[in-house]
Chain A
């Protein structure tokens, strides 16, 4: 008799015999995550910059967007897009719902990250830039944003990793992503042990390198920053 253990070896063999199923789901997850990440970054930067602007109406719009999407569960947003909008006559494909749902949801978080990054740069720098004749776009591009990258990179990576994991919400609306495939295999074959461990491993393989890369990149940027700049007395003499 075969072992009844949920992690028994024969269950692993059976599962890897169906590896294409997991491969398909994995690919779907990567596609959705990549597109959703782009959308989240675009929305995040736009709304992040808007929320630091002087225009009250613009700030208000950004506030409503952020508060609405941060304070309602992603599951409900996605469920609404899937069934609610379909009843209203707007039928988005599950792929689109994945990209839009997860992208807009994380856009709200990225927006907050970008906003904190910008406001963490001392106001004096903006004033100094303005006094030198920099326009808004110029000082954002050359002075403020390059400095914010170092500050916002760690929380931004957190968002990217969370975004990848949150694409698993698609499993609920039959989205054929990795989680859906794992669920499907787990409930049809009853090999839930190998199925979920393997799916978890694949998510790990996506998220771990990303988190590691971001950490390394951040360290490199910081090293560059603290590198000693040779002091040249002649230059000072000229500017004074």
Chain B
């Protein structure tokens, strides 16, 4: 027993040391890591994007390239920061991987339908929102749901990131109905669960949902709490965050972003 205890203590010590060393590490490199200087020096803007969200970031199976609204923003940023709209490198991310990739310096920015919340602002920097969208529900046509009010006791499939879950929960509480949630790592998995009847509704941001409508499914008219997407960067890369924020604000004013939204058919 003594041996087991001491082994555990050593284990705890290792974790503590690891935590300490990584905290000092990030302080030392704070001035260069993910900052504007290092991006300019590297000559390439590394961005985490979605590759499974139609119209926002979707891999084109014919060309192998990722295309969409958010990739166009990446191109615009690369052009402004580095003077070349092709000086970017895309890394596909999911709700689960985008945080760690940003923290460990694999990517400089994340532009991946990342919803801004107050809690998340404690962890990352967000730019001014470049897109605002409300949460919607995709259901099977033959299920006969007219709205969330009909879904008492049903299971709702959400992606592993709490914003849509919280949004629906709030409305469900207001309407006095109970719903349960199943979380999945990717959107195609939720769609598969909807098709097989594992969940009764597929719930994410409306525009993302648009890419998953087919003959047997439809989007309910209900819309919940608007979600705002921001360009995400590390908390300590202030110069980069400010630069990006400046450009986004400029494009919001001169209608560039509006043009992209129309281009990708994001208004519904």
Q: Which residues of A contact B (CB under 8 A)?
A: 1-8, 82-84, 86-87, 91, 172-174, 180, 183-184, 186-190, 192, 197, 201, 204, 209, 212
Q: Within the complex, what minimum Cβ distance (angstroms) separates A164 from chain B?
A: 18
Q: A5-B23, A183-B96 are in contact. List 10 more A-B contacts (CB 8 A).
A: A2-B122, A6-B22, A6-B100, A7-B19, A84-B196, A86-B198, A87-B197, A187-B95, A187-B99, A190-B120
Kindly list chain B residues whose C-beta atoms are within 8 Å of the C-beta of A197. 15
Residues 193 to 209 of chain B near chain A (Cβ within 8 Å): 193, 195-198
Contacts A2-B122, A183-B185 given: A83-B198 contact, CB under 8 Å?
yes
Q: Are A188 and B235 in contact (CB under 8 A)?
A: no
Q: Quick one: closest A residue to B20, CB to CB?
A: A7
Q: Are A5 and B26 in contact (CB under 8 A)?
A: yes
A-B CB contact pairs (8 Å), 8 listed: A6-B100, A8-B23, A83-B195, A83-B196, A83-B198, A187-B96, A190-B119, A192-B99
Top 9 A-B pairs, shortest CB-CB distance: A188-B162, A174-B182, A4-B235, A86-B196, A83-B196, A187-B160, A7-B19, A5-B23, A190-B123
Q: Are B23 and A7 in contact (CB under 8 A)?
A: yes
Q: Quick one: closest B residue to A212, CB to CB?
A: B4
Q: Which residues of B contact A (CB under 8 A)?
A: 4, 11, 15, 18-19, 22-23, 26, 95-96, 99-100, 103, 119-120, 122-124, 157, 160-162, 165, 182-185, 189, 192-193, 195-198, 234-236
Q: Quick one: closest A residue to B104, CB to CB?
A: A6
Contacts A2-B122, A4-B235 given: A188-B26 contact, CB under 8 Å?
no
Q: How far is the CA of A172 from the CA of B18 in the complex (A)?
A: 29
Kindly list chain A residues whose C-beta atoms are within 8 Å of the C-beta of B124. 190
Q: Are A6 and B103 in contact (CB under 8 A)?
A: yes
Q: How far is the CA of A87 from the CA of B216 in the complex (A)?
A: 14
Tell me which of B22, B120, B162, B183 contacts A174 (CB under 8 A). Answer: B183
Q: Are B195 and A87 in contact (CB under 8 A)?
A: yes
Q: Are B234 and A4 in contact (CB under 8 A)?
A: yes
Classify the interface of chain A: helix, strand, loop or mixed: helix
Q: Quick one: closest B residue to A171, CB to CB?
A: B185
Contacts A7-B19, A86-B198 given: A184-B160 contact, CB under 8 Å?
yes
Kindly list chain A residues whose C-beta atoms are within 8 Å of the C-beta of B120. 190
Kindly list chain B residues whose C-beta atoms are within 8 Å of the C-beta of A5. 19, 22-23, 26
Q: Quick one: closest B residue to A82, CB to CB?
A: B198
Q: Are A188 and B161 in contact (CB under 8 A)?
A: yes
Kindly list chain B residues whose C-beta atoms are within 8 Å of the C-beta of A201. 11
Kindly list chain A residues whose C-beta atoms are within 8 Å of the C-beta of B123. 4, 190
Kindly list chain A residues whose C-beta atoms are within 8 Å of the C-beta of B185. 172, 183
Kindly list chain A residues whose C-beta atoms are within 8 Å of the C-beta of B160. 183-184, 187-188
Q: Are A192 and B100 in contact (CB under 8 A)?
A: yes
Q: Are B183 and A183 in contact (CB under 8 A)?
A: yes
Residue of A6, A8, A180, A204 with most partner-chain B CB within 10 A = A6
Q: Are A91 and B197 in contact (CB under 8 A)?
A: yes
Tell me which of B4, B11, B103, B192 contacts A83 (CB under 8 A). Answer: B192
Q: Are A87 and B196 in contact (CB under 8 A)?
A: yes
Q: Are A83 and B193 in contact (CB under 8 A)?
A: yes
Q: How far is the CA of A180 from the CA of B189 in the complex (A)?
A: 14
Q: How far is the CA of A8 from the CA of B185 in the complex (A)?
A: 25
Kindly list chain A residues whose C-beta atoms are within 8 Å of the C-beta of B96. 183, 186-187, 192
Kindly list chain B residues whose C-beta atoms are within 8 Å of the C-beta of A209. 4
Q: Within the complex, what minimum Cβ distance (angstroms) separates B168 from chain A?
A: 14
Kindly list chain B residues whose C-beta atoms are within 8 Å of the C-beta of A84. 196
Q: How far is the CA of A146 from the CA of B69 in the complex (A)?
A: 67
Q: Within the complex, what minimum Cβ distance (angstroms) separates A34 from chain B?
A: 22
Q: Are B184 and A189 in contact (CB under 8 A)?
A: no
Kindly list chain A residues whose C-beta atoms are within 8 Å of the C-beta of B99. 6, 186-187, 190, 192
Q: How far is the CA of A188 from the CA of B4 in the complex (A)?
A: 34
Q: How far is the CA of A3 from the CA of B20 in the complex (A)?
A: 12
Q: Within the complex, what minimum Cβ distance (angstroms) separates A76 from chain B?
A: 13
Q: Are B195 and A180 in contact (CB under 8 A)?
A: no
Kindly list chain A residues whose C-beta atoms are within 8 Å of the C-beta of B122. 2
Q: How far is the CA of A209 from the CA of B195 in the complex (A)?
A: 42
Q: Are A4 and B19 in contact (CB under 8 A)?
A: no
Q: Quick one: closest A residue to B100, CB to CB?
A: A192
Q: Within the complex, what minimum Cβ distance (angstroms) separates B259 from chain A?
A: 32
Kindly list chain A residues whose C-beta atoms are within 8 Å of the C-beta of B196. 82-84, 86-87
Q: Within the complex, what minimum Cβ distance (angstroms) separates B176 from chain A?
A: 24
Q: Within the complex, what minimum Cβ distance (angstroms) separates A52 from chain B?
A: 38
